[in-house]
Amino acid sequence: MKINKKKFIYLISPNKITYNFFKDLKLVLKANKVGIFQMRLKKYTMRQKIIIGEKIKNICKAHKVNFLVNDDPWLAKKLDADGCHLGQNDMKIKKARSILGNKIIGVTCHNSIRLAKIAIKSKADYIAFGAFSVTQTKKTKYKATIEILNEANKIANIPIVAIGGINSSNYKNLLLNNANFLAISSYIWNNKKYKPKQAIEILK
| CB-CB contact of 86 with 108 (8 Å) | yes
Tell me the CATH number at 73: 3.20.20.70
What is the Cα–Cα distance from 72 to 75, expressed in whole angstroms?
5
pLDDT of residue 172: 96
Question: β-strand 126-130 against 181-184: which pairing, if any?
Answer: unpaired
- Spatial neighbors of 199 by CB under 8 A, at least 6 apart, are 168, 187, 188, 191
pLDDT of residue 29: 98
Which pTM value belongs to this model?
0.95
Q: Indicate whether 132 belongs to any domain.
A: yes
Coil, strand or helix at 24: helix
pLDDT of residue 54: 98
Q: Indicate whether 2 belongs to any domain.
A: no
Nearest to 178 by CA among 164, 159, 163: 159
Q: What range does the domain containing 111 cover?
A: 9-202
pLDDT of residue 115: 97
Q: Indicate whether 3 belongs to any domain.
A: no
| CB-CB contact of 70 with 39 (8 Å) | yes
Q: Indicate whether 14 belongs to any domain.
A: yes
- Spatial neighbors of 79 by CB under 8 A, at least 6 apart, are 50, 53, 54, 57, 67, 69
pLDDT, averaged in runs of 10, over the chain (204 residues):
87 95 98 98 96 98 98 98 96 96 97 97 97 72 90 96 95 95 97 97 95
Coil, strand or helix at 199: helix
pLDDT of residue 138: 60
- Taking CA atoms, 185 is separated from 42, 56, 115, 137, 160, in Å, by 14, 15, 24, 7, 17
Structurally, the chain folds into a number of domains equal to 1
